[in-house]
Amino acid sequence: MAVGIFDSGLGGLTVLDAVTRRLPDVPFVYFGDNAHTPYGVRDPEDIYNLTTRGVERLFAAGCDLVILACNTASAAALRRMQDGWVPKDKRVLGVFVPLIESLTERRWGDNSPPREVAVKHVALFATPATVSSRAFQRELAFRAIGVDVEAQSCGGVVDAIEEGDEILAEALVRSHVDALKRKMPNPDAAVLGCTHYPLVEEVFRDALGPDVRVLSQPELVASSLADYLERRPEMLGPGTVSQFLTTGDPRKVSSKATQFLRRRIAFDPA
């Protein structure tokens, strides 16, 4: 009954932490492609090839349902995977839709035509590859009209977080928020479009100010996954063991992951 969580590195651990708290009886297999992180500076073909390779490994681990807890992979690879690569008895879902459902106040499965919503000005903070894909804007357009999105490419933030350089990460976040505000001085809401960003969420909140609603993914994805599995319990795969898999050095990745989640995490070679 295992569910797979795929990420380019360690950011998806923020999602894993939320979903394990929401679904404590479900074993999760986490795959971190740490040997190739970050994805945010790679081209779409490279991202697609790396993502399918990782998802195949999760299928092999007994996961019929895989969550791409990497926004870059969701933006650059998910649609292509769903259109022709994913086997009929498997499912691969991304992390954009739960964000957009919350932003537009739509329930899961609401396929009614796009309509006007309360939020009019949205700031999107994401990796360069996610921003260039315009996947967030495309998914939003399916559900809402009249929403102005200003996207800010946050180069360097993922690298700083992965390296554990909190001072550099904070400086970069504040610089990117300042750059966004020069283009959109008064956003109604801000979307943290990378699963690494919850680790510096308080910096984003402080830099944006108290009047901006900040949407972060882990809890939204956990709620959406619980809803999905209630509707589709047959998508719980045959796997029974929780695992942490990495393409990187298991010892180094385990050490960083333990720092991230503040509990012992032991990765095995993928």
Catalytic residues: 70, 194
How many residues does this entry show for the chain?
270
* Residue of 165, 169, 134 lying closest to 151 (CA atoms): 134
Q: Give the span between the Cα atoms of 129 and 77, in whole angstroms.
A: 11
Cβ atoms within 10 Å of 61's Cβ, excluding its own: 21
Residue 179 sits at the vertex; the CA angle it makes with 156 and 195, to the nearest 5 degrees, is 45
Report yes or no: 68 and 95 within 8 Å, Cβ to Cβ.
yes
Would you state the structure tokens that stand for residue 53, as one six-digit string? 């390779």
User: In the numeric block, which tokens belong to residue 165?
Assistant: 């350089």
Nearest alpha carbon to residue 58 among 112, 98, 3, 106: 3
Sign of CA dihedral 11, 12, 15, 20: negative
198 prior amide bond cis, ω within 30 = no
Across the chain, which distance is largest between two alpha carbons, in Å?
A: 50
Q: Are 192 and 201 in contact (CB under 8 A)?
A: yes
Cα–Cα distances in Å, from 265 out to 42, 101, 259?
28, 32, 9
Q: Which two tokens stand for residue 257?
A: 């992951």
Q: Could you say which DSSP state residue 249 is in?
A: -
